[in-house]
Amino acid sequence: MRIANSTTSTGPQTSENADNQQTAPVVQCQNVTRSYTGRGSGSLLGRKEHTQTVTAVSDVSVTVRERELVGIAGPSGSGKSTLLHLLAALDVPTSGVVTVNGTDTSSLSERALARMRLNNIGIVFQHFYLLPALSARANVALPLVELGLSRKERRSRASTLLEKVGLGDRESHKPSELSGGEQQRVAIARALSTKPKLLIADEPTGELDTETGASILDLFDDLRDECALVVASHDQQTLDRMDRVVRLQDGERIDDHA
């Protein structure tokens, strides 16, 4: 993350040059910058104010293609979370272009962005965020309400997904009755419920032991035929399982773009 006063300039535009050209892009960032502007004090006495701009991501390009497992790595403050939000269409860039399934996210209204996420993107959070009062099956089925599926269809799809992630015998259990690894599998099944083209996972093994984390990574590998995956992590075991890793530092991409 970089901080500058008044205006922020971006560096020369570059593009990623080493993607696998055999499969179609699911999401692309092209020379993307995301800055946030606020007001700060310009003197010790606080009598003057100036505009302060924080650049969380600067001139980053990345392409994620079908069947890829792509890691996002970097220290705290490197821009990982901001890049994930851009890839997930939870935010739009200050400059540059993010396209999801060929559509420029900046061209969409908030309502259209929400519909795009529902139809194209599944998100897995580190802390699971399961509703404690609902069963595993009900948690997985929840996004399907927005798709307008009938109760029977929702229950059937949720049961099928829980079977896929190895929890067919746990669908009536509530989160408090499940282990951490089982809760993460429920969260993954929920993210897959809308049949997304892209699955984004933020530190998905961060709260799991090594063995359980490895089983989640095995599951991700099994899912590559259904969707592309982007995984942000500090864990080297996780990053070692990726096809390639995008490395960030101070908001800029520092790997060789392979």
Checking if the pLDDT of 77 tops 50, the result is yes
C-alpha 141/C-alpha 136 separation (Å) is 9
In one-letter notation, the amino acid at residue 168 is G
CATH no. for 66-253: 3.40.50.300
Give the confidence band of 11 by pLDDT, cuts at 50, 70, 90: very low
- The whole-number pLDDT of residue 22 equals 66
Domain boundaries, the chain: 66-253
Q: What share of the chain is helix, strand, coil (3-state, %, to 5)?
A: 30, 30, 40
DSSP for residue 37: E
Tens-place pLDDT, residues 115-150? 999 999 999 988 899 999 999 999 999 999 999 999
C-alpha 18/C-alpha 107 separation (Å) is 27
Tokens of 90: 């939870």
**pTM: predicted TM-score of the whole model, two decimal places:** 0.84
Checking if the pLDDT of 2 tops 60, the result is no
Give the pLDDT mean for 235-240.
92
Tokens of 233: 């992590």
* 215-245 exposure pattern, b = at least 16 Cβ within 10 A, e = fewer: ebbebbeebeebbbbbbbbebeebbebbbbb
28's CB contacts (< 8 A; 6+ apart) are: 61, 62, 63, 64, 97, 98, 99
Tens-place pLDDT, residues 180-222? 999 999 999 999 999 999 999 999 988 889 999 999 999 999 9
Residue entry with tokens 């006063």:
5
* Continuous H helices in the chain: 80-87, 110-120, 136-141, 151-164, 180-192, 210-223, 236-240
